[in-house]
């Protein structure tokens, strides 16, 4: 189930959402020309490494670029490949504009990074001795999805359901689209728990739950009129 767009307009232009998407794309293009990206050193320098963050290990001097605490945030702007970037930015493009519209620019920035922090710490606490760098905006975007689920469960989302040559476009309520996403992350976290490397499913789950909890505090008090509630 691949989301393509939602039927949920905004009242203002989502400047922060566009800025985050543009920054991630620009940094990824810069990464491609970097020798440290090709060797993988970039991920150790700017990715979040649980064992380093928790003080169990130290990076070699040739890999050290910034304090480990800052990698919680730099890791959100580093992506491992084209599909990793495209998948994350697609979800950001579809769902983040409405949450920014609800919260306003400055609250949305705080909300986004708090979700990213919650996601990062969820992954770290799963294995504090892990030496595998975590990169990508997936955790923070998971928080966006959790918030969208709370604020717009009845919004219609156009999704592509792939069945080979029989793929189909259908509109489904966000409740089911995002609920399916969360269940898929949970199943994958269980079935792939022993796999070294791969996808940081704990971060996805932690970000999603962080978004659900945080949006209850960040929401505006005014009630938005939702046309799909007629």
Q: Over the stretch 171-193, which tens digit does the pLDDT of each residue have?
A: 999 999 999 999 988 888 777 65
Residue-range domain boundaries for the chain: 2-229
pLDDT at 166: 74
2-229 falls under which CATH superfamily? Rhomboid-like (1.20.1540.10)
What CA–CA distances, in Å, run from 40 to 69, 75, 97?
20, 14, 33
pLDDT at 197: 52
Between CA 222 and CA 38 the distance in angstroms is 49
Counting as low any pLDDT under 50, the low residues of the chain are: 194-196, 221-223, 225, 227-230
Give the other-Cβ count within 10 Å of 55's Cβ. Answer: 9
Between CA 90 and CA 96 the distance in angstroms is 10
pLDDT at 193: 53
pLDDT at 168: 86
Between CA 130 and CA 171 the distance in angstroms is 40
pLDDT at 152: 96
pLDDT at 195: 43
Between CA 143 and CA 92 the distance in angstroms is 10
């Amino acid at each position: 189930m691949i989301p393509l767009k939602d039927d949920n307009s905004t009242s203002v232009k989502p400047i922060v959402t566009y800025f985050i998407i543009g920054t991630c794309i620009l940094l990824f293009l810069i990464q491609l020309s970097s020798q440290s990206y090709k060797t993988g050193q970039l991920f150790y320098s700017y990715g979040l490494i649980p064992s380093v963050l928790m003080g169990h290990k130290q990076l070699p001097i040739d890999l050290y670029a910034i304090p480990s605490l800052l990698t919680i945030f730099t890791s959100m702007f580093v992506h491992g490949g084209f599909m990793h970037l495209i998948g994350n930015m697609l979800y950001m493009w579809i769902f983040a504009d409405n949450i920014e519209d609800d919260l306003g620019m400055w609250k949305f920035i705080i909300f986004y990074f708090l979700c990213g922090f919650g996601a990062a710490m969820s992954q770290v606490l799963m294995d504090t001795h892990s030496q595998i760098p975590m990169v990508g905006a997936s955790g923070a975007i998971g928080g966006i999805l959790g918030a969208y689920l709370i604020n717009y469960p009845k919004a219609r989302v156009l999704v592509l359901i792939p069945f080979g040559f029989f793929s189909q476009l259908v509109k489904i309520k966000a409740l089911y689209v995002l609920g399916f996403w969360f269940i898929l992350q949970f199943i994958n976290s269980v079935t792939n728990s022993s796999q070294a490397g791969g996808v940081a499913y704990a971060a996805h789950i932690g970000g999603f739950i962080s978004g659900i909890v945080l949006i209850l505090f960040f929401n505006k008090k005014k009630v938005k009129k939702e046309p799909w509630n007629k």
